[in-house]
Amino acid sequence: MAEGFISYQDKEANETLRDVAQRYLIELGMRCMVQLHEADTYTPLTKFDSCGLHDLMHDLCSSKAEKEQFLMRIDASKYLTDILLPTRIAISYDPSSNPSIDGLKEVRGLRSFIVLPKHYYPKPTMGFKESMVNFKMSQYLRIFVVEGCEFEGGKLPSKFVVEGCEFEGGKLPSKVGELIHLRYLSLRNSNVRELPKSICSLPYLQTLDLRVLYNVAIRLPNVIWKMKRLKHLFLNTGIEVIGGEKLKLGGLQELETLDEISSETTCIADIPTLISLQKMCVEVDVMWIAC
């Protein structure tokens, strides 16, 4: 959806782009081109947890993608300077081996930048510096996924502990707000503790995943309600709104997914204005009264 491969013209009555994408997946599964893994909790909205490719199909697609310079999958242990890079890069890394990325500063015209760990790890290990990606030369970036990454702390003095490991909190580079074509932004399992106010300058953003490290509160400017095209918002309940107010969501009329919020930090009164909402997870504080 973020790449624009799902056509609005294929939408039927009362369908969303997510419904169209799901139909595409089912058809590919019926043709034995894609392996679909059903969700543990099967619902009309969430039929599949994930999908994959058969080995032969994976090899064919990878070979074709590199030949057409459409996509390249790279192991983080490689030095990237001498590699002819396409407009879409997917970097996988082993989080237990102190991985690093180098050689991306001169890459131009990126459309998709994805960094993913090969398996779960209790703390971020892939270092991410603001100079790693030339945001000015990647102004057409649509997908920016940096999961399990350790961002620089900037002016944030705070440290936190995750599963016995202490490290500093990071800050998302403010230059991300200049990526006006961005559709998908994921910071899942990263150490980001603060989001810049420039995040509201992303007029086409559809998916925002802020499920940072478990038990780590992320500080948010109260500007998400201005992102009118937002369709999927993923949060941790332990957020902190800069300024002390509750997080506003009123006016997000295209929002379909809201997961997960707390009545303590989010303005619950805004929920009735979310007219396109299909999935929501809310933690409601309960006051126990002794009688």
Structural domain count of the chain: 3
Residues 71, 43, single domain; the answer is: no
Task: Report yes or no on 208 lying in a domain.
Answer: no
Mean pLDDT over 222-241 rounds to 90
Structure tokens at 215: 């038990």
Question: Which residue, 282, 232, 228, 226, is CA-closest to 256?
Answer: 232
Task: Report yes or no on 209 lying in a domain.
Answer: no
Residues 23, 145, single domain; the answer is: no
Query: Cα–Cα distance between 270 and 255 in angstroms, integer?
Result: 12
- For the chain, the average pLDDT equals 81
Confidence of residue 270 (pLDDT cuts 50, 70, 90): very high
Which amino acid does the sequence have at 149? C
Structure tokens at 19: 């419904």
Residues 10, 41, single domain; the answer is: yes
Residues 17, 81, single domain; the answer is: no
Range of the domain at 19: 1-52
Residues 187, 229, single domain; the answer is: no
Structure tokens at 35: 């392996």
The string of pLDDT tens digits covering residues 124-172 is 777 777 777 777 778 889 999 988 888 876 544 455 454 444 555 678 8
Mean pLDDT over 191-205 rounds to 88
Query: Cα–Cα distance between 242 and 249 in angstroms, integer?
Result: 15
Task: Report yes or no on 271 lying in a domain.
Answer: yes
pLDDT score at 291: 35
Q: CA torsion, points 148, 231, 248, 149, in degrees to nearest 10?
A: 10
Task: Report yes or no on 63 lying in a domain.
Answer: yes
Q: For tokens 């009688």, what's the residue?
A: 291
Task: Report yes or no on 233 lying in a domain.
Answer: yes
Residues 102, 123, single domain; the answer is: yes
Task: Report yes or no on 32 lying in a domain.
Answer: yes
pTM score, two decimals?
0.82
Task: Report yes or no on 204 lying in a domain.
Answer: no
pLDDT above 90 for 273: yes
**Type and span of the H or E element at 183:** none
Task: Report yes or no on 101 lying in a domain.
Answer: yes
Last residue of a domain, one of 139, 162, 195: 195
pLDDT score at 168: 59
Residues 131, 150, single domain; the answer is: yes
Cβ of 13: how many Cβ atoms within 10 Å?
4
Confidence of residue 216 (pLDDT cuts 50, 70, 90): low
